[in-house]
Structure 1
Amino acid sequence: MSQTEAAEAARLALTRPLALDLTTTLVGHLARHAAATPDTVFIHHGPRTTTYGRLLEQVAQVRGELLAAGCRPGDVVACAGPRSARTLALFLALESIGAVYLPLGPDWPAQRTASVLRRSAADLVADYLGEDAADARHALEEAAGAAGTRVLTLGTDPAHDTHETHEAAAQPRWRTHCAGGEPRYVFYTSGTTGVPKGALIEHQGMVNHLWAKIIDLGLGDTDVIAFSAPLTFDIAIWQMLVPLMTGSSLAILDDGHMSFPRRLAGELRARRVTVLELVPTTLGWLADEVLRSGSPLDDLRWVVSTGEELHPALARRFFRALPHCSLGNAWGFTECSDDLTHHTVRTSELDQERLPVGPPIVNVTLYVLVRDEATGQWKAARPGEPGEIFAGGVPVGRGYLADDEATGRAYFRDVIDPRSPTGRLYKGGDAGYVKDGLLHYLGRLDRQVKVAGVRMELDEIETVLKSHPHVAQGTVLAVGDGHDRQLVACYTPAPDGCDERDLQRHLRRALPAPMVPSRWLALPEMPLNGNGKTDHKALTRMIGEQR
């Protein structure tokens, strides 16, 4: 990129600088609450509660076990267990040591777990699976053995709070500050080569995102925040940590709640949850359940959609079900500390083909760039012109752990902003454009396919499919090779049914003939992966079985 183009990209960038404290530790926040109000209940998990004092005691116990096992600053520690207060205690114990948190998926095959342990060079696996998880523990030990990684089975929770343990836990051994560039956690994402990649995030990027949620959602000490995400989905980080900064309460929702809309709605009411972040599929389930039952969620004031594109048809269903509630549309990269934009959806936008993903969060800089095919040089896209989205600023992570090749393909020296606090730009493969100060997401560049000689974007077809009023969920895949390649529309009908011929007419009215799927697959529900997103691999298998 030339200096002239770099200056123009800087002029057109979306940015929102704000001076924030990015070095205070989360265990420092907990120690502050525990010293002031040790007996205040912080966590609700079914019938169980955890006070600030009890949680700090748990952190002290886990920290002691980790240190005894030889855990040191900079070590990568893989963590296996269910979403619980122990998750938070383990994360904070690792932070207090200066080690790196790596969550493992409880549903991962042993081969994937072993691959992640090897690729991350994890020094230790911390097992908090619980006493009734013999099969899961056996699989974990088998994977760790294959990778040559030690397993530390953590002890049981402390049974009682005592005055003495509160005082012991409050000693100044807790680090209240750390370097902003200290590595804090690593999440493994699916790689295009089939090999998982570990996105390594710094403390400053993590805390900046926590502040972004606090600022943009107006979070405070009267909120009850749902901790509902799978632990291998990066939104779990803000859900469990933001309440430590705001003094909010934390409501832990089990997988059983998240898999059944009626149970989810019931638990949200019982815990009086005020803030919830979901993927669009689960958001749709919840909206349909509220409409079906006629029982509102009066305490809920914010629902944020993330992980996949939020379509206007789903937003309309949401506002019919929860007209009193604000709906957020968030977008971002795991490699950049999670969400990078927050948009408050307005009812006036619901007739648009696509919803904007919004303005940037604090301290990120977003660029939309286009590449000149003749020269190979990048330049700034004009307002309204589609291009590839690049991210710079505080949230950009360090790269992919122990994977220089993958890092070199996605992370670049920031030649646009010489004052960038990280000096890095991230290129994530998402397309978009800027209009009126808002980023509009256009889908993944790697979902561009060629069928019968015609190049097309699958996301564009999906947008039209999901706009049909009788489609609850939908996705489009290209299957087969060469002349046998064809488009397949997979969808779940709305409760009042959906006629396939009407769907075909709907797409033919909006799309060129080559972009109208030739095969249709109606499903009672869409298969989801461990993060609650549409499982395209499972759909591909189902399509193959249908032949």
Structure 2
Amino acid sequence: CGSHHLTYKQLHDRSNQLAHILKDQGVKKETLVPICIEKGIALLVGILGILKAGGVYVPIDPEYPADRINYMIEDSVASLVIAGNQSKNKLTNAGSFEILELDESLGVLNGQSIENLDGVKSNQLAYVIYTSGSTGKPKGAGVFHRSIVNLLLWYVKEFSIKEQDNVIIISSHAFDLTQKNLLGPLLVGATVVMPDMNYYDTQIITKCIREKAVTIINCAPHAFYPLVEDAIDLNDLDTLRLVILGGEPIHLQRLENWIWGDGYDCEIVNSYGPTECTDIASFYRMNNPKDYLNKLIPMGHPNDNVQLFVLDKSEHLLPIGLMGEIYIGGDGVGSGYLRDERLTRLKFIPDPFSKEPGSRLYKTGDLGRWMPDGNIEYLGRMDDQVKIRGYRIELGEIENLLHQHEQIHQAVVLAKDDSDGNKRLVGYLVSEESLDKEEIISYLRERVPSYMIPALWVLMESFPLTPNGKVDKKALPDKDLSTLSAKDFIAPRNEIEENIAVIWRNLLHIERIGIYDSFFELGGHSLLAMRVVSAIRKEFDMDLEIKDLFQYSTINDLSKYVEIQLSVYTEESNSSEYDLLNI
């Protein structure tokens, strides 16, 4: 789980030292400070240091493409950026801002004052998180101190988080749900555990859960499923007492083996809420998840000081059972979008149900209805926003980027379900010339995270239109997601290649995979990659790291690597046997 540790006293002193440095460099009330740093103690010191200086932290995942990272920094008009010794290499516009390098040693803080600074006020911004934007660029959503404090106080009270709890962080620190898990445990003296891993790795995570006796985990469902499905020993999860899942619908059937296990004694919680409203707006506790294996899991009811409304198109309250748009009010409602007053006015409207001056409602774009028991049932989206593995994606952002490509005349991106119920992105393109799929993917990879790159591409002569001249998305061909391969098909040539191909086919749900097809271009991602690695470890009884799959991403390359590793293992085994016989 990593070798770096920090006591509360050290965290207090180190974050104060950083705050003094930030103050000296001009950070004051509501100064935006991007923090692009790898997960670790430096990240936590950095966030607290920014808050103590009165600033607003802007968490940026260093795994994002450099183009996206630099856009966020530019959009935040930052004069100072906190970066790690690796992530600083992605800051290509470094001449326009100062870089404060902060690594795990925290050496840059030595000699600074540890005295407390002046406090902040509840109506100040605490952080800005960037989410996918339909205009082609991500948009920054601001959250107030009063909002995050309200969430944290509810969080530790509702789930009885105590000093004895150990909370593991496996999500990106740029993800909204991560904030309460970084900060909430600090209110009660609990321990924050951050696994030391470059990629999502179920073995590292489960080992960390076991060795650190982790009691609480909060992540997207698709980040939790592999911990159960690929577990060597489900007893590794026995210390968990609380699993909070959010960001997408939960399919409890995928956790059935764990839930019915002898050592299972855990509560699962369904949480709901957008970034614009401080992560969680409603929750539903399942004390006995067995009862929900084949039942719809409600969104639940609002947490403390948060109100939920289901309104019609005229913004009138709807009775129980009728579908409408979900609106959120109360202390969780954020400030709006950074430097986008038009969109803020559109999505954040005056609250007609509140007597509080200046109170607002947030229009979520989500559809739902009240149930007789006082919970809300989620019924989908009103627009093109989708969730892929818990990440919120505006399809329009991808479409706008594709339209900027000089060879693409028209572009539409849709989310389609594969045979396992997982959503995958499909890109439909119109071009007057032949397109190179790999070049299009490379173009997007420089601009958006991997989860925003379509797995399948469909080239068309023209798009079907509705009577009013708009693209008829429902009439676009429903391509078979089991035939994603775009390269000339070359079948596996030997037993190792065939065994790897079978693993890929089972996990990617693709029937026809050639030896030169890239796992990631076929729709593979870090979560699926870990499942591939686990399956190969079992199939060939060998050690394989997730980084190996990133390096050898085709069956041709991976099979050669596996063959070399197996031969080395055989030679070492023979040598050991020979030595033993001669003792």
CA drift at 1:47: 2.2
Q: Secondary structure of the residue that 1:225 maps to in structure 2?
A: strand
Correspondence for 1:65: 21
Q: Deviations over 1:498-534 (max 9, x none)?
A: 9989xxxxxxxxxxxxxxxxxxx999975369xx9xx
| Deviation of 1:107 (Å) | 2.0
Secondary structure at the aligned position of 2:298 is classed as coil
Alignment length (residue pairs): 429
User: What does residue 229 of structure 1 align with?
Assistant: 171
**Structure 2 partner of 1:395:** 332
Among 210, 215, 233, the alignment partner of 1:269 is 210
Q: 1:304 aligns with which of 241, 244, 249?
A: 244
Q: Distance in 2 between matches of 1:409 and 1:428?
A: 11
Against the structure 1 CA distance between its residues 381 and 479, is the aligned structure 2 distance closer, same or farther, given a 3 Å change threshold?
farther
Change in CA separation of 1:495 and 1:328 when aligned onto 2, cut-off 3 Å: farther
| 1:349 alignment partner in structure 2 | 292
Residue number in structure 2 paired with 1:418: 355
Deviation at 1:271, TM superposition (A): 1.1
Counterparts of 1:91 and 1:388 in 2: how far apart (Å)? 35
- The C-alpha deviation readout for 1:122-160, integer Å capped at 9, x for no partner, is 231122x13xx2xx42321x1343xx3332334773579
- In the other structure, the counterpart of 2:130 is 188
Partner deviation per Cα, 1:236-279 (whole Å, 9 max, x = no partner): 211111111111111112344x6121221111111110000121
The 3 A distance-change label for structure 1 pair 303 and 489 is: farther
TM-score of the pair, normalised by structure 2: 0.67
Alignment partners' CA distance in 2, 1:320 and 1:262 = 22
Max radius of gyration: which structure?
Answer: 2
TM-aligned CA deviation for residue 314 of structure 1? 3.0
**Using the alignment, how far apart are the partners of 2:103 and 2:211 within structure 1?**
31
The aligned counterpart of 2:409 is none
C-alpha distance in 2 between matches for 1:348 and 1:323: 14
Considering only aligned residues, what root-mean-square deviation do their CA atoms show, in Å? Answer: 3.5
Alpha carbons of structure 1 residues 305 and 109: separation in structure 2 relative to 1, 3 Å: same
Residue 93 of structure 2: aligned partner: 143
CA displacement at 1:73 relative to structure 2? 1.7
Partner of 2:100: 152
Segments of 5+ residues of structure 1 without an aligned counterpart are 1-44, 372-376, 450-457, 502-520, 533-547
* 2:123–2:146 CA contact under 8 A, matched in 1: yes
Give the Cα–Cα distance (whole angstroms) in 2 for the partners of residues 58 and 500 of structure 1. 49
Hey, what does 2:391 align to over in structure 1?
none
Q: 1:294 to 1:188 in 2, by over 3 A?
A: closer
| 1:181 to partner: Cα distance | 1.0
Deviation at 1:315, TM superposition (A): 4.8
Distance 1:523 1:209 in 2: 39
Q: In 2, distance between residues paired with 1:105 and 1:161?
A: 23
Match in the other structure for 1:12: none
* Cα distance, 1:89 vs structure 2: 1.2
Q: Are the aligned partners of 2:16 and 2:52 in contact in 1 as well (CA < 8 Å)?
A: no
Map 1:472-491 → 2, pairs under 5 A = 474-475=422-423, 480=428, 481-482=463-464, 485-488=476-479, 490=481
Q: What secondary structure does 2:6 align onto? A: strand
- Length-normalised TM-score, structure 1: 0.71
Aligned partner of 2:578 in structure 1 is: none
Which residue of 2 is the match for residue 288 of structure 1? 229
| Aligned residues of 2:167 and 2:193 also touching (Cα < 8 A) | yes
Name the aligned partner's letter for residue 380 of structure 2.
Answer: G
Query: Match of 2:80, as an amino acid?
Result: L
Residues 476 and 232 of structure 1: CA distance in aligned 2, closer, same or farther (over 3 Å): closer
State how far apart, in whole Å, the 2-side matches of 1:268 and 1:499 are. Answer: 28
C-alpha distance in 2 between matches for 1:216 and 1:255: 31
**Contact 2:221–2:246 (8 Å) recurs in 1:** yes
In 1, the alpha carbon distance for the partners of 2:138 and 2:51 equals: 24
* Distance in structure 1 (CA, Å) of the matches to 2:311 and 2:258: 34
Corresponding position of 2:493: none
In structure 2, relative to structure 1, the CA distance for the partners of 1:199 and 1:161 (3 Å cut) is closer
Tell me the distance in 2 between the aligned counterparts of 1:412 and 1:65: 39
2:70 counterpart SS class: helix
Give the % identical residues. 26
* 1:353-384 CA distance string (max 9 Å, x none): x311212111100011121xxxxx22222212
Kept in 2, the 8 Å contact 1:384–1:433? The answer is yes
- Correspondence for 1:52: 8
**The residue matched to 2:230 in structure 1 has which SS?**
helix
Matches within 5 A, 1:389-538: 389-419=326-356, 423-435=359-371, 436-447=373-384, 462=417, 471=420, 474-475=422-423, 480=428, 481-482=463-464, 485-488=476-479, 490=481, 526-527=524-525
Structure possessing the higher relative contact order (Cα contacts under 8 Å, 6 or more residues apart): 1
Cα 1:385–1:229, aligned 2, differ >3 Å: closer, same or farther?
Answer: same
- Deviation at residue 486 of structure 1 after TM alignment: 2.4
Alpha-carbon separation, structure 2, partners of 1:359 and 1:114: 39
Offset at residue 320 of structure 1 (A) = 3.6
Aligned position for 2:269:
328
1:107 equivalent in alignment to 2:63: yes
Pick the aligned partner of 2:180 from 196, 218, 238.
Answer: 238
Aligned equivalents of 2:291, 2:235: Cα separation in 1: 26
Residue 101 of structure 1: how far off its partner (Å): 0.4
Whether the 8 Å CA contact 2:258–2:264 is kept in 1: the answer is yes
Cα contact 2:238–2:264 (8 A) shared by 1: no
